Amino acid sequence: MEKLKFILSGGGTGGHIYPAVAIANELKSRFPNAEFLFVGAKDKMEMQKVPQSGYKIEGLWIAGLQRKLTLQNVMFPFKLIDSLWKSRKILKKFKPDVVIGTGGFASGPLLQMANTLNIPTVIQEQNSFPGITNKLLSKKANKICVAYENLEQFFPKEKMILTGNPVRQDLIDIESKKAEAIHYFNLDVTKKTLLVLGGSLGARRVNQLIEKELETFESLDVQVIWQCGKLYFEDYKKYNSDNVQVLAFIDRMDLVYAAADIVISRAGASSVSELCIVGKPVIFIPSPNVAEDHQTKNAKSIVDKKGALMIKETELDSEFSLVFEALLKDQGKQEQLSKNIKLLALPYATKQIVDEIVKLIQ
């Protein structure tokens, strides 16, 4: 077999970049001689993150439409035409066997052009409510790997495969790491541990809530690991104490999940998939500021199956302390949530997605 070539595109947020890198790593383990190229949006985080993972990347001059009239929106048609033209050039030069899109601005023009050139394409849709780009691309895609059931209203049923989202494989057995986790984070074994996750950049409203509730946590004898995000670290690091650890980001996600008794988290697709595998009691606080309000829909898909709790941002001031304290004091409820969320886990998504890609080149 001649050397295989794969182009992957996914970016804008870690939730799009991580799955693309995970898929590339799995392909590389099966085809060590294969060639890989990533395509991203210039000025977005994939331009740094992908090379750090050991892959080459090319950037397109593309950005999303804003909800209000801005110069960026006026420029959009020009950026789109430029990105389609450059995508065609990249595809003609690299000659990939398959093109894989995991979402983000750059995957639109790239997969559209690959479809036009009759190159097999695979979409990996992370959310329970797909964005407009993937809906449009799905008509020509060969396979659509999804993380949630009941997406027939958005995608052709015969092309869909339920795989789940790629997740870190070191999360699959965290129970055995509890003692190591307690030592690593220097925790008090007699106290419950609350883990707060706001995403790699942070979440302003979640951080404001935690700041306001620090006294409540102390009165309930709860220790806190608070990942506030790099944008907010300077504002909140002053709260570091014996009881509260404020972190810009967390290197050992496996250990922090192992240490946690309760988790407060946004509801991005990757986070939700990880939390299903980890199986800890979760309170989701979805971001209302994302396209199609998909975080609320992601969280609701778990809440509807009694696998988590959810509080909307608009209800935090009135609801949070009551919900949190009730959950903290109800061991039975914690165990029920853990059991139910674990039933929704799809831990081997990356392998299944790559199985589908391999079928297109055999």
First to last CA, the chain: 10
Mean pLDDT on 298-317: 96
Q: Which residue has the higher pLDDT, 78 or 36?
A: 36
CA pair distance 123, 353, nearest whole angstrom: 10
Q: What pLDDT shows up at residue 1?
A: 58
What six digits make up the tokens of 83?
Answer: 């990105």
pTM of the full structure: 0.85
CA pair distance 31, 360, nearest whole angstrom: 14
What count of residues does the chain have?
362
What phi, psi does 135 have (nearest 5°)?
Answer: -60, -45
pLDDT band for position 64 (cuts 50, 70, 90): low
Alpha helices (runs of H) in 220-310, residue ranges in sequence order = 233-236, 253-259, 269-278, 294-303
pLDDT band for position 167 (cuts 50, 70, 90): confident
Mean pLDDT on 281-295: 89
Q: What pLDDT shows up at residue 71?
A: 64
What is the 3-state composition of the chain as percent helix, strand, coil, each rounded to the nearest 5?
Answer: 50, 15, 35
Highest mean pLDDT among 176-185, 282-291, 292-301: 176-185
List, in sequence order, every residue forming a beta bridge with 192; answer none if it has no partner: 222
Res. 164: pLDDT tops 90: yes
pLDDT band for position 267 (cuts 50, 70, 90): very high
Closest CA to 353 of 160, 133, 95, 67: 160
Amino acid symbol at 277: I
Question: Is the separation of the CB atoms in 110 and 87 below 8 Å?
Answer: yes
Residue 266 sits at the vertex; the CA angle it makes with 265 and 269, to the nearest 5 degrees, is 115
Q: Which residues contact 151 (CB under 8 A, 6 or more apart)?
A: 125, 128, 130, 160
Closest CA to 281 of 181, 199, 195: 195
pLDDT digit string, tens, across residues 103-159: 888 888 999 999 999 999 999 999 888 888 888 899 999 999 999 988 999 999 999
pLDDT digit string, tens, across residues 36-46: 999 988 878 88
What phi, psi does 7 have (nearest 5°)?
Answer: -110, 135
Q: What pLDDT shows up at residue 68?
A: 56
Q: What pLDDT shows up at residue 74?
A: 65
What six digits make up the tokens of 103?
Answer: 């979402």
How many C-beta atoms lie closer than 10 Å to residue 362's C-beta? 5
Q: What pLDDT shows up at residue 106?
A: 82
Question: Is the separation of the CB atoms in 114 and 23 below 8 Å?
Answer: no
Mean pLDDT on 282-299: 89
CA pair distance 277, 50, nearest whole angstrom: 25
Quote the mean pLDDT of the chain.
Answer: 91
Q: Which residue has the higher pLDDT, 130 or 201?
A: 130
Q: What pLDDT shows up at residue 73?
A: 65
Q: What pLDDT shows up at residue 78?
A: 73
Res. 65: pLDDT tops 60: no
Question: Is the separation of the CB atoms in 266 and 286 below 8 Å?
Answer: yes
Rounded percentage of the chain residues whose pLDDT exceeds 90: 72
Question: Is the separation of the CB atoms in 11 and 106 below 8 Å?
Answer: yes
pLDDT band for position 192 (cuts 50, 70, 90): very high
Q: How far is CA 66 from CA 63, 74, 82, 111, 283, in A?
A: 9, 10, 19, 22, 30
Q: Which residues contact 78 (CB under 8 A, 6 or more apart)?
A: none
Residue 204 sits at the vertex; the CA angle it makes with 227 and 276, to the nearest 5 degrees, is 50
What phi, psi does 224 have (nearest 5°)?
Answer: -125, 130
32 exposed, middle or buried (CB, 10 Å; 0-12, 13-18, 19+)? exposed
Q: Which of 23-27, 131-135, 158-162, 230-234 has the lowest mean pLDDT?
A: 131-135
Q: How far is CA 7 from CA 135, 261, 294, 336, in A?
A: 20, 40, 27, 42
Rounded percentage of the chain residues whose pLDDT exceeds 70: 96
Q: What pLDDT shows up at residue 13?
A: 74
What six digits make up the tokens of 329?
Answer: 């004091």
